[in-house]
Amino acid sequence: MAAKLKGLSEKLLVSHHDNNYAGAVKRLNAIEAELAGLPKDAAPFRVGSLKREELIARNSLVLHEAYFGNLGGEGLGSGRLAEAIARHYESVAAWEQEFRQTGKALGGGSGWVVLGWDAHRGAAHTYWLFDHTHSPTGVVPLLVMDMFEHAYAMDFGSNAAGSIDAFFQNLAGAELDRRAEACGAK
């Protein structure tokens, strides 16, 4: 995790990483241990409850790793990901506007904004995820923005838009291009 970011304090980042991300990792391990220990004739509702929690913790882990990993640079840049975006949107600026507005729509609530490579569409596309159980099937996350209040309120209060400005200033362009390359985004 990058500790020094523009506009996002170390205190916020460490709290976010150590409580929310690490909490999801711990929870996932505990849930999987419980699942492994269930008797073969366990009631379906017990299995179902744990499988639901497994999904929530697993998606939280994956999305947080993508979120922290896409910070620590100087911005999106004009590499592989920007090229893919430009192919599927009117322009990179038009895509950014929609991505930011999607984030603002989650301000004061909770959720994620994910630009992903959507193999079904054959395109890069921005999705709105209200919580950890909303995840578009078959979409590889490329750029992930955490809009849960724990991701910004310590520094920005309820100013979600200010936190989105800071998010864009810190994008790790090289990592984003690597992700786009790895999933064959074009």
- Using CB under 5 A, list all residues that contact Fe ion: 20, 146, 148, 151
Nearest distance, CB of residue 16 and Fe ion, angstroms:
6
Distance CA 149, CA 103 (A): 12
140 sits in which H/E element = strand 139-146
- Nearer to Fe ion among residue 18 and residue 74 (C-beta): 18
Query: Which amino acid is located at 176 in the chain?
Result: L
In angstroms, what is the minimal distance from the CB of 186 to Fe ion?
30
Rounded Cα distance, 112 and 166, in Å = 16
Nearer to Fe ion, 66 or 115 (CB): 66
Q: Which is nearer to Fe ion, 35 or 153 (CB)?
A: 153
Nearer to Fe ion, 15 or 20 (CB): 20
10 Å CB burial of residue 16 (0-12, 13-18, 19+) is buried
CB of 84 to Fe ion, least distance (A): 25
Strand partners, 171: 71
Q: What's the closest the beta carbon of residue 110 comes to Fe ion, in angstroms? A: 9
How far apart are CB 106 and Fe ion at their closest, in Å? Answer: 12
Q: HEC profile for 18-74?
A: HHHHHHHHHHHHHHHHHHHHCCCCCCHHHHHHHHHHHHHHHHHHHHHHHHHHCECCC
Q: Which helix (H) or strand (E) holds 179?
A: helix 173-182
